[in-house]
Amino acid sequence: MTNARDIKQQLSDDDFNFVCDYVYQKSGIVLSDSKREMVYRRFTRIIRDRHLTSFSDYCELLKSDPEGEERYFINAVTTNLTSFFREEHHFDYLAQHELPHLIKKGSKRIRIWCSASSTGEEPYSIAMTVKESFKTLLNTWDVKILATDIDSNVLNTGKQGIYEYKGIEDMPEHLVKKYFSRGMGVNSTKVKTTSDIQNLITFKELNLMNDWPMKGPFDVIFCRNVLIYFDKKTQLELFERFHKLLAPNGLLILGHSENLGAFQQYFKSVGRTIFRKLD
Ligand SMILES: C[S@@+](CC[C@H](N)C(=O)[O-])C[C@H]1O[C@@H](n2cnc3c(N)ncnc32)[C@H](O)[C@@H]1O
């Protein structure tokens, strides 16, 4: 096993600092010294893939072609951990409060943005919640879920909608039956999402640090378990932009360890890390 001293020797302070700065500029992700081992591990894979011999070689490549390498490198450093119905209380709130309320309002149009969608389990969980709440009413409503992420690899997984069966084995049987089809032969350990939920979602590459092409307004914005990688300044800038893009009384849903900090005054807390926009 590589220890902290080996890492320090092989990944020099200059190279590590350069990488931290590059990642911050491109993605807003803050890589502090505690992430050194993680950077080292991901770097090792990159160096192997790129047939290079040292970390410095890769830093030189990043310096000489910062734009060309951006997508590949950012894809390699993002952490994409997610799962179906992660933090289930958020989906319960949608099913029990928000969607019935929106249906009753009768606007016939609902927009939901899942802003760090990773491999797609989160937007598909939203789509299943929507389908279950609307039932046949959905035919007469215009409901769309936008799923975005900075990482093009995870978005491709989301678009394909193919997952290991073990990722859904704890899901209620009726949802598995309705929204997944089981693979055959060599694919028997896999499932694929059905077009019923696929058709509700559009997957698009979007870096939260850049301009957002969408006009909104969104009734619900999910931004879960990504803010933890950003500093306070970036978080506040994002909260302001989410606030602008939300419909009156729209919901902003954050991850379990995230909060609005100084921006709390513009929202009302209505559940565990669920915030309603105040106008
Ligand atoms: C830990 S995953 C969280 C996934 C999901 N929201 C959940 O809670 O299960 C964080 C995701 O944020 C994405 N991400 C990181 N920086 C981003 C940025 N600047 N813009 C958009 N997405 C970003 C990563 O690619 C990753 O897929």
pLDDT digits (tens, 9 = 90+) for 71-93: 999 999 999 999 999 999 999 99
Q: Which residues are catalytic?
A: 42, 149
Alpha-carbon span 22 to 18, nearest angstrom: 6
Contact 235 CB / ligand 1 (< 6 Å): no
Q: Is the CB of 150 inside a 6 Å radius of any atom of ligand 1?
A: yes
53-62, 180-189, 210-219, 245-254 — which is least confidently predicted?
A: 53-62
With 0-12 / 13-18 / 19 or more C-beta atoms within 10 angstroms meaning exposed / middle / buried, residue 97 is middle
Rounded to the nearest 5°, which phi and psi values hold at 217? -75, 155
151 lines ligand 1 (CB under 6 A): yes
Summarize pLDDT for 186-212 with one digit per residue, the tens.
Answer: 999 999 999 999 999 999 999 999 999
Query: From 2.40.50.140, 3.90.1520.10, 1.20.1090.10, 3.40.50.150, which CATH number describes the 88-277 domain?
Result: 3.40.50.150
Index of the ligand 1 atom closest to the CA of residue 223: 6
CATH T-level topology, domain 4-77: Chemotaxis Receptor Methyltransferase Cher; domain 1 (1.10.155)
Q: How many Å apart are CA 120 and CA 78, to the nearest integer?
A: 15
Say yes or no to pLDDT of 1 above 70: no
Measured in Å, residue 149 CA sits from the centre of ligand 1 at 6
223 CA to centre of ligand 1 in angstroms:
8
Note the Cα 216 to chain centre separation in Å. 18
Task: Please list, residue by residue across 56-90, b when 16 or more beta carbons sit within 10 angstroms of its beta carbon and e when fewer do.
Answer: eebbebbeeeeeebbeebbbbbbeeebebbbbeeb
Residue nearest to atom 3 of ligand 1 (CA): 225
The alpha carbon of 185 and the centre of ligand 1 are apart by a number of angstroms equal to 33
User: Is 272 strand, coil or helix?
Assistant: coil
Distances (CA, A) of 39 to 7, 15, 20, 231, 269: 10, 11, 9, 18, 36
Domain boundaries, the chain: 4-77, 88-277
Compute the half-sphere exposure of residue 77: CA atoms within 13 Å on the CB side of its CA. 25
User: Do 4-77 and 88-277 share a fold?
Assistant: no
- Please write the tens of the pLDDT for every residue from 20-72: 999 999 999 999 888 888 888 888 888 888 888 888 989 999 999 888 889 99
